[in-house]
Amino acid sequence: MNFNALIKEIETRQWDVYGMEVYENGRLTHSYGDTLDSGFPIYSATKSIISIAAGIALDQGKIELERSILEYLPAGATGQMSESQTAAFREITLERLMTMSVDGFPFRPEGESYLDYSLSCPLPNVREKVFHYSNIPAYLVGVALTHAIQEDLFCFLEKKLFKSLQIDAAVYQRCPDGYFYGASGMELTVHDLSRIGLLLYHGGIYEGTRIVSEDYVRTASGIRQMNREGGYGYFLWKYRDGFSINGKWGQKCFILPERGLMITYLSHLEEDSSKLKTSMEKHILGIEQG
């Protein structure tokens, strides 16, 4: 590992990296930039937090992943759906949404009601499991969790996750219907994202406290749906011999338990995020690109 060489390349190339942390065997060994003081957008890394919320609800017996999403949505919304839409959504389980294996959703919900918009999307091939990335699945899972646990989802997260992780200044977004958006819109510090990564690295335990079951973490971080990136779990991405939390433009937490490594960084790189990842792999993982 040559952390200094990585930082030198970041600064030479003037990549907009807010901060970075490297953990070896669960201990912070290297740090760069603003990792503690400022929150930054994590974009789709928010989805991985929804995954953990789902795991906690599953452990509590509040949800079953093989059940239809319609069983967990408010009757006021589902009662307005057409017969064809109801039939299509009846085929969609929570697991299908969490693995992004429903084809046809637009990239994001829109309009005055994100829920009504999401439930009106035509889904002609709903029975075919195809990886199709969209913000709508994570949003719908968040709405479903709200009704399954009978509590505002962000309040639930504050009590069941953030308090134990000592995350006390998370910024978040709500949809026009009032639900925690869940697909994006959060801001965390680099160290906050590392805390979430460490929870997963340690199989659902953070500083000796069990937050989510090891079985769920193992399942969620495994390959549940293949894609061109190498596989997808429950709002988590397969990465080499581990997995990762990803947001657009360079928000990453690479979790590699077999190597005893975890690398977290937040950045804003609309064009060079893949180059930063390549540099990290070279200097931290010792992987030369062919």
- In this predicted structure, the answer to whether residue 169 has a pLDDT above a threshold of 90 is no
- Tell me how far apart the alpha carbons of residues 123 and 195 are, in angstroms, rounded to a whole number: 37
> In this structure, what are the phi and psi dihedrals at residue 247, rounded to the nearest 5 degrees?
-130, 160
pLDDT band at 290 (very low <50, low <70, confident <90, very high): low
Within 8 A by CB and 6+ apart from 74, the residues are 115, 143, 147
Within 8 A by CB and 6+ apart from 238, the residues are 222, 223, 229, 230, 231, 232, 244
The encoded tokens of residue 196 equal 């979430």
- Tell me how far apart the alpha carbons of residues 201 and 261 are, in angstroms, rounded to a whole number: 9
pLDDT in tens, 210-269: 999 999 999 999 999 999 999 999 999 999 999 999 999 999 999 999 999 999 999 999
Average pLDDT over residues 174-186: 97
- Tell me how far apart the alpha carbons of residues 137 and 171 are, in angstroms, rounded to a whole number: 21
Contact between 174 and 142 (Cβ < 8 Å): no
CA end-to-end span of the chain, whole Å?
Answer: 19
Query: What is the DSSP secondary-structure string of 81-144?
Result: S-HHHHHHHHT-BHHHHHTT-BTT--SS--SS-HHHHHHT---TTTTSB-----SHHHHHHHHH
Average pLDDT over residues 283-287: 95
pLDDT in tens, 96-120: 999 999 999 999 999 999 999 999 9
Average pLDDT over residues 174-180: 98
Sign of CA dihedral 153, 167, 16, 260: negative
- In this predicted structure, the answer to whether residue 65 has a pLDDT above a threshold of 90 is yes
In the chain, the percentage of residues whose pLDDT exceeds 70 is 100
Per-residue confidence (pLDDT) for residue 288, from 0 to 100 = 81
- In this predicted structure, the answer to whether residue 124 has a pLDDT above a threshold of 90 is no
Average pLDDT over residues 136-153: 98
What are the CA-CA distances from residue 15 to residues 8, 44, 276, 279, 286 (Å)?
A: 11, 20, 8, 11, 21
Length, in residues, of the chain: 290
Neighbouring-strand partners of residue 244: 237, 254
Per-residue confidence (pLDDT) for residue 289, from 0 to 100 = 75
pTM, two decimal places: 0.97
CA-nearest of 45, 51, 56, 52 to 186 is 45
The encoded tokens of residue 26 equal 């669960």
CA-nearest of 148, 40, 161, 145 to 98 is 145
Average pLDDT over residues 143-162: 98
Per-residue confidence (pLDDT) for residue 202, from 0 to 100 = 98
Which amino acid is located at 112 in the chain?
Answer: E
